[in-house]
Amino acid sequence: MTDLHALSATEAARRIAAGTLSAEKLTRALLDRIELREGTVGAFEHLDPDQALAAARAVDLGDVPGPLRGVPIAVKDLMDTADMPTAYGSPIYRGWRPRADAAVVALARAAGAVVLGKTVTTEFATYHAGKTTNPHDAAHTPGGSSSGSAAAVADTMAPLALGSQTAGSVIRPAAFCGVVGYKPSFGMIPRAGTKPLSESLDAIGVFARSVADAALFAGVLTGRPELLDAATPARVGRAPVALGLCLTPQWTMAAPETAALFESLPEMLARGGLAPTPVEVPAEHRPLLEAQSLVMGFELAQALSWERLTHPAQLSPELRELLAAGAAVTPADYDRAQRQAREARRALPIFFGGLDAVLVPAAPGEAPEGLAYTGDPAFSRIWTLLGVPCLTLPAGRGPRGLPLGVQLVGRIGDDARLLAVAAAVERALAVGGH
């Protein structure tokens, strides 16, 4: 029998709706898990057990018919919460209390979710790491910037968590921590009330331990019933899956364990009934790594103008260097990078052809040792720039016993199809013995 703290979100929601489990009992189980493991994992920036339990009791006593009724969630500390501090990973905002919830927090609460607390983010969701460790080995990074959210879900401290991505901040930590990380098509989940970093790139994402749970959460946040149903057996088994496999222009950055994983993927998937088709790297994708860096740097320096100009001493050396580089990007270089992104976006129908989704690497390899470096987002940058939906699936372990992940990318706006394909790949990997 599954311990309560390890229940999936879909199962927890089903039991609460059926009256066989209370939101308070489930929240207590998760708080007990957090108390046991938080000293090692350090996933939370703010935690108030009494407040979480009061919210759970209110759900139990009220008439809340929402699809997340009583399901606890964790919220990245880049997103505003009216009843909890929001520091954005920076000492500049220590103790800051916003007036309102971010849109995603408000929508989750309206659907019945219980907010457990705020999870650790790197400084302004960039590269200066917080205290969180990888729950599989505390000597290794959980990835970033959504460090605490990925670690909390992986360590069964929360069934669902909110994250965000500007380069690789959902996909990479999901791979390092061995969970599902889903970044929808650009703009599909509202960003209002989330600290802006890059207008062209920022996207809200979710963490879960299954595709079905990620689909549930994303469906609620977007108000799209087709996402809620995307990972159901009826949808997943409706038609054959046309799956591609592309090594991408960044393949030279892949560690040996990722190379070995992708060499074995076709056979693993074949045992589960899927046959991926090799896809060539498009010429339009080759300049996109640099283009994403230019766009991100230029827009980041603008978005953090107040912090950069008025509180430079409270910024980490890494962030000051990043902002200085971004401020040095010329408008002409920025415009050129945006043109390259538009040209590649127009060519995406050719890239996908008749395929439903394409498998690509999620991260260079296992999570790096040490906590100061959260890993290279190279395998996510171009997909974030293009605005396509992306999803990480756990796909075995590397030589150090740490998780490895694969990334699925889909067509812009066709998130339901991506989630259905992801559920089919998830099932195939389970059958194929990853």
* Contacts made by residues 305-311, CB under 8 angstroms, sequence distance 24+: 307/90, 307/92, 307/124, 311/92
pLDDT in tens, 313-337: 999 999 999 999 999 999 999 999 9
Q: Catalytic positions, please?
A: 76, 145, 169
The dihedral over CA atoms of 303, 299, 362, 176, expressed in degrees to the nearest 10, equals: -30
Structure-token pair, residue 87: 């520091």
> What number of CA atoms fall less than 13 Å from residue 259's CA on the CB side?
7
Residues 6 or more apart in contact with residue 314 via CB below 8 angstroms? 90, 91, 92, 307
Average pLDDT over residues 24-29: 98
Residue 64 has what pLDDT?
A: 79
Which residue, 288, 200, 284, is CA-closest to 250?
288
Burial class (CB in 10 A: 0-12, 13-18, 19+), 354: exposed
Predicted pLDDT of residue 234: 64
φ, ψ at 144 (rounded to 5°): -155, 170
Report yes or no: 227 and 263 within 8 Å, Cβ to Cβ.
no
233-292 pLDDT, tens digit per residue, is 766 665 689 999 999 999 999 999 999 999 999 999 999 999 999 999 999 999 999 999
In this predicted model, what pLDDT tens digit does every residue of 72-105 receive, in sequence order?
999 999 999 999 999 999 999 999 999 999 999 9
Considering the entire predicted model, what is its pTM?
0.98
Measured between alpha carbons, how far is 99 from 1 in angstroms, rounded to an integer? 42
* CATH number, domain 4-234, options 3.90.1170.50, 3.40.50.300, 3.90.1300.10, 3.20.20.80: 3.90.1300.10
- Extents of the domains making up the chain: 4-234
pLDDT per residue as tens digits for the range 49-63: 999 999 999 999 988
Q: Is residue 43 within 8 Å of residue 50, measured between CB atoms?
A: no
pLDDT band at 229 (very low <50, low <70, confident <90, very high): confident
